[in-house]
Amino acid sequence: MTVTLRSLETAVPRTVLVQPEARDVFAAQPGLTRLGQRLVRTCFDSAAIDTRHTAVAEMSATFHSDNPLFFDVDTGLLLTPSTKERNDLFTVEATTLFIEAATKALAACDGVSPADVTHVVTVSCTGFFNPGPDYKIVRALGMAASVQRYHLGFMGCYAAFPALRAAKAFCDADQDAVVLVVSAELCSLHVRTSNNPDTIMGSSLFADGAAAAVVTARDLPATGPALVLDHFETVLTPVGEDSMAWNIGDQGFEMVLDSYVPHIIDDHIVGALEPLLAHEPALAAGEYRDIRHWAIHPGGRSILDKVEAKLGLSEDQLVPARETLRNYGNMSSATVMFVLKHILDQPAAEESESICAMAFGPGLTVETGLFTKVSPELEPVSGHAGLEHALDHAARG
């Protein structure tokens, strides 16, 4: 029985932040010291980001409100909504993204309808409400009232991995299970003006987006590339507990992102990979550089630089992560799903290709996964039988 991610789709809010324009807004805020202004310009300019998306429509230059809450476009001032006000917007806008991504993922999965879904796993660390997004998806898509629902909240940027690992466990236990995994993050709700370096760094990086995947072991027809979920592992580094954190404040959630994080990753990334690579003897023997695709969570440009240098990866292998960062910014848990979609959408060179994926979060936690991209269009046997051949090939290594 092979557990496979059969479809993966993404969704983003309509409002786009252009990085230089956002930089100028943040740098012009009253109360910034000269050092703060320099930090804003340095962080925004070195982030390797061109555009990001935000659910805060007020951040659009064309949006006008008589009672602005987050941003007054007429004065150029960033405002200070309370945590409740931010979370109220999350309740509305996150629900829209959760449902949009879920709808797209199910529509893209041939042979599966909302009525087939047995489990829904939702992920977010940027807001709370109950009945939650898992409930909203079930109701909006007309799923059975008996669907099992799970929500992974406040885990951070690595949370897509526990969600996919749970989906695999459900499918391993029940070969007829169909699991819908949906992550949606509205990080931009919590940005603010400040002289604090962590806050400035977060303002230069974080963005909003959602991703959804359908995971199952069912015998389904082939409509495109898929991912076999091979192995997952989690590792806590021996240091870094205070270097990355996500706390709730009176004026939104507060990010702690110490500049030492890239150094922690540099020191411990090889060791964090060892439990995952132990599942594949050839890879454990040091041949991990032969893995074609690397889906690295782009927590920031410096983190990607450290991973590339420490693991000896090529520039091409980091393209999916860097392009995701450039076009979308850091969307917390949803981001690595965007990277995986980038890889899935690339033309396949072989009928099965290995992917090593990883993300980092509070703790400091390193989540990793080994996947196999299977592309039935390269197999001469057509249709469903072609995908089954590719899956069998992937299972046999």
Predicted confidence (pLDDT) per residue in 81-115, tens digit = 999 999 999 999 999 999 999 999 999 999 999 99
Question: Domain residues of the chain, as ranges?
Answer: 4-216, 226-374
Task: Single out the residue of 312, 397, 321 nearest to residue 359, CA to CA.
Answer: 321
Whole-number pLDDT of residue 305: 95
- Spans in the chain with pLDDT lower than 50: 380-387, 389-390, 393, 396-397
CATH for the stretch 4-216: 3.40.47.10
Report the SS3 class of residue 106: helix
Start-to-end CA distance of the chain, whole Å, equals 15
The helix-helix angle for 301-311 and 319-328 (nearest 10°) equals 180
CATH for the stretch 226-374: 3.40.47.10
Half-sphere CA count of 283, side-chain side, radius 13 A:
21
Whole-number pLDDT of residue 381: 37
Tell if the pTM clears 0.75, that is, is over it.
Answer: yes
Report the SS3 class of residue 363: coil
Residues catalogued as catalytic:
157
Separation between Cα atoms, residue 391 and residue 369, nearest integer Å: 18
Separation between Cα atoms, residue 225 and residue 125, nearest integer Å: 30
Separation between Cα atoms, residue 375 and residue 17, nearest integer Å: 35
Whole-number pLDDT of residue 285: 55
Whole-number pLDDT of residue 223: 78
Whole-number pLDDT of residue 286: 60
